[in-house]
Amino acid sequence: MSLKETFERNKERRYIMFGGKGGLGKTTFSAATAYWLAKQGHKVLVFSVDPQASLSDIFQQDIFGKGAVKIMDNLYAQEIDADSHIREYQNEIRKKILDMYGFEQIPEEIENYIQAASAEPAMEESAIFDAVVDIVVKGDYDYYIYDLVPLGHALYYLSMAKVYDEWINRITKLREEMREYEEMVARIKREKVAEEDQILHELQYIKKRINLSSAILTDRDKTAFFFVLVPEEMIIIDTKNAAELFAKFDVPIVGYVVNRVLPEELATQDIPPYLKNRIKMQAHYLDKSRQTFGDKVVGYVPELERDVTGLPMIEKLAKIMYGD
């Protein structure tokens, strides 16, 4: 089944993810897929969860941190600014502390804790994850195209929903136990129990958002994950290992797209020996990719004459990928 057929036969799949090792073409494939779907009349958002995002370069337009930017009819692109979301976190936490405890200003030791927590290495990924939840929860688009970070970070990102969910479950359980204890003490002291537990309410709100995001990431009817690879031995091995790990997190892997394929007809022309050797070696690894991934290899994309930047090259790539 071709890449185009995977979309035409599964039109309910609205969340599309391209993943793989860095530098193999995830972002260009994301942009080309978003372009093709937009041309079919669908309202599409392509967005990057990579802090080193390059959608701005591909679309030749500054979109970083500007929200959803219109590229053309039906097509919007967004690069998430993690730092701005972290600052929003900080301000939101400060406001909630002031509201809950009636402080006039944030105590110094709490402010120090907020600053220290925001400097944690995982905070950037957490901010991006939360921003993605905001994007998909609104439901403003027909299709959402995720340009994922390289494999290791992508696995972390995709597993965050489960990690967060387990953490929230534990914290919520502790808070509920504390609530029961507070009610018991209040009865003994014959004091009125607070009508609403704001902390528990906040935890339940976070859990609801995480469950929604997790449901999308693992929904085999609505979500499709594509691995991008090139015909090289180590890339094939790394992709196979990553696919096995992703499967443990119930990620619906739909197919594999092989990029940067050199045309075989070049071997019949007068070309340097090293290039002939590359084509011969590539043929071996193309066979190996078919043996490894079977009929889930849904597309082969040739090496192009130049980088995919600007709408004309994105259109060209889209026609190659989807056969229009």
Domains and CATH numbers, the chain: 3-84+142-160+220-322 (3.40.50.300), 166-207 (no CATH)
Taken in order 114, 120, 125, 126, is the CA torsion positive or negative?
negative
b (16+ CB within 10 A) / e for 131-152: bbbebbeeeebbbbbbbbbbbe
As given in the structure block, the two tokens for residue 192 are 């009125």
Instruction: Name the DSSP class of 250.
Output: T
The size of the chain, in residues, is 324
| Mean of all residue pLDDT scores within the chain | 84
Residue 260: which H helix or E strand, with range? strand 253-261
pLDDT in tens, 127-143: 777 788 788 878 899 99
Compute how many other C-beta atoms are within 10 angstroms of the C-beta atom of residue 61: 16
Average pLDDT over residues 274-300: 94
Strands ordered across the beta sheet of 223-229: 69-72, 75-79, 44-48, 143-147, 15-19, 223-229, 253-261, 297-302
pLDDT score for 139: 87
CA trace torsion 110, 116, 118, 119 (10° rounding): 170
Token representation of residue 118: 């925001």
Pick the range with the lowest mean pLDDT from 107-121, 214-228, 230-244.
107-121
pLDDT tens column, 142-200: 999 988 765 555 565 556 666 666 766 777 777 677 767 666 666 665 555 444 566 66
HSE-CB for 133 with a 13 A CA cutoff: 23
Cα–Cα distances in angstroms (integers) from residue 90 to residues 84, 86, 99, 123, in the given order: 10, 6, 14, 11
Digit-coded pLDDT (tens) for 193-219 = 444 566 667 667 766 776 777 677 778
Q: What is the percent of the chain where pLDDT is above 90? A: 43
